[in-house]
Amino acid sequence: MGFTVAIVGRPNVGKSTLFNRLVGKRVAIVHDMPGVTRDRRAGAATLLGMDFTVIDTAGYEDATDDSVEARMRRQTDQAVEEADVALLLIDSRAGVTPLDRHFADLLRKAKTPVILVANKCEGRAGEPGLYEAYGLGLGEPVPVSAEHGEGLSDLFFALQPYAEAAGALNDDEDEDAVEQSAEDQDEEAANAAEEAKAAARPLQLVIAGRPNVGKSTLVNRLLGEDRMLTGPEAGLTRDAITSEWEHKERRIRLVDTAGLRKRANIDDPVEKLSVSNTLEAIRMAEVVVLVMDAAAILDKQDLTIARMVIEEGRALVIAINKWDVVEKPDEAMARLRDRLETSMPQVRGVPCVTMSALAGKGLGKLMDAVIEQHKTWNRRISTAKLNQWLEEVVAHHPPPALAGGRRLKIRYMTQAKARPPTFIIFASKPEELPEAYTRYLVNGLREAFKLPGVPLRLFVRGGK
Ligand code: GDP
Ligand code: GDP
């Protein structure tokens, strides 16, 4: 069936509308498509010149033979298994519902990559749901309006790397070379466009940390007294407060769930770290500032939070607060760097800013780091440059030989998405590529393309 895309999601989010938009009038009769069973529709779709097969899972809700949930799950599982990419649709006007979360949980466990699509975003009506959609932990949602045909180019760009990866392996080499040099020139433009797009929206910031490190003091400092609190507002967690300001012409939007945190512990004299509240806050963020106390850096709770930030794929900045009471700053700094390197190798080079929220020192540096990390987190690297690099590192240090003396072949690489930078490598026997070798590649990527401190994702897939 070539490159195949499944549309999944709960009833009424607009699956059929999107399906119809993508296939126009060329809907295939389902039973004619090999591998597609009766209750899913498949069609030949075109999007800005990219051809693919689209599978729609709408319609199961009419079934009476067993529970909707069970059917839904079977439908989704099968469609997703058949597809190269799944589009999880949500209705951004309705916001994220428990059923959406259920789908997100299912899909997170699937091997097929998922693109989160926020439908019904025409005008600005979908904006609240768009922010909320980050909370599904599936990365950046692509805003579209299936009914009005808006956002389809963004959808194209989200699908393109997967289509390219699926198809580019069949291209002959000359064609590849031409395409790649053209693409190289596009890289700067792509990054500039990405930056412009990102700058138009406020940078979504969350301050996290265990109790008593100085989060509230920092938030108050950042906001100052004259700033307006906006919220609580639709689309965010019930008790979240947001506020906006500018740092060096960049709009910053702080999401603060501290109200929730304090209230939940009202009967508890010693405030404890609430992992679920922290996770909820992290999911609201693009950048997380993890505040630590200079007197007790990287204790277990600090590491727990850092791990959550990395797993959620957010950009991380570490703030070492209460630096005003540190007696030997140089020694403390050296110790700190050392501990960071050994405790958090997944984010090697993570920015680490010393500050005093109480004295109001280091806030400018902190915000500079936040903006810089956000840029790195949004970086795009051209396929040409990636493959040139891949060829060099593989030649320099080939993957270990397989049993029987044959070599595992690493064929091709592409960046699937930014936020966080996510790469796919195609190899002859992906399951036999050792963990250590993947780590070697990730470290190399970080060095070569200057991606310090952001979580990087690298998937290894079987080449066709
Ligand atoms: P499905 O159950 O997921 O297949 O959803 P449908 O495609 O049947 O759409 C459900 C409802 O949402 C219909 O009333 C559509 O007209 C409406 N709808 C679909 N896409 C959009 C959109 O982009 N904007 C708005 N406002 N409504 C939409
Ligand atoms: P939160 O629980 O993380 O929100 O921490 P708070 O902001 O409530 O601060 C906890 C305690 O640390 C308070 O007594 C603050 O005055 C103090 N504190 C916060 N920032 C600093 C700082 O930069 N230096 C010093 N010495 N104390 C601080």
ipTM value of the model? 0.61
Confirm or deny that 119 is annotated as ligand binding.
Answer: yes
pLDDT of amino acid 374? 95
pLDDT of amino acid 238? 44
What HEC string does 18-50 produce?
A: HHHHHHCCCECCHHHCCCCCCCCEEEEEEECCE
Pocket of ligand 2 (CB under 6 A): 209, 211-217, 321-322, 324-325, 356-358
Confirm or deny that 122 is annotated as ligand binding.
Answer: yes
Answer yes or no: is the C-beta of 244 below 6 A from any ligand 1 atom.
no
Answer yes or no: is the C-beta of 92 below 6 A from any ligand 1 atom.
no
Q: How confident is the model at residue 199 (pLDDT cuts 50, 70, 90)?
A: low
Q: How confident is the model at residue 169 (pLDDT cuts 50, 70, 90)?
A: very low
- Pocket mutation for ligand 2, best pick of 257, 291, 358 (most atoms within 8 Å of C-beta): 358
Report the C-alpha gap between 40 and 63 in whole angstroms.
13
Answer yes or no: is the C-beta of 421 below 6 A from any ligand 1 atom.
no
| Residue-wise pLDDT tens digits, 124-150 | 666 667 777 877 888 888 888 898 877
Is the confidence at residue 231, as pLDDT, over 80? Answer: no
The ligand with the least distance to the CA atom of 60 is: 1
Q: Please, what are the domains in the chain?
A: 4-166 (3.40.50.300), 198-226+240-378 (3.40.50.300), 380-462 (3.30.300.20)
Segment 256-267 shows an average pLDDT of 51
pLDDT, mean over the chain: 79
Is the confidence at residue 120, as pLDDT, over 70? Answer: yes
pLDDT of amino acid 182? 42
8 Å CB contact between 243 and 202: no
The ligand with the least distance to the CA atom of 209 is: 2
| Residue-wise pLDDT tens digits, 326-366 | 999 999 888 888 888 888 888 888 999 999 999 999 999 99
Confirm or deny that 11 is annotated as ligand binding.
Answer: yes
Residue 134: which of 247, 255, 228, 15 has the closest Cα? 255
Distance from the alpha carbon of residue 82 to the mean position of ligand 1, in angstroms = 24
8 Å CB contact between 243 and 253: yes
- Among protein residues, the one with the nearest Cα to ligand 2's atom 7 is 214
Pick the more confident residue, 88 or 431: 88
Confirm or deny that 111 is annotated as ligand binding.
Answer: no
Structure token digits, residue 336: 């700190």
Ligand 2 atom closest to Cα of residue 219: 7
Cα–Cα distance list, 107 to 1, 133, 332, 363 (Å)? 22, 14, 44, 39
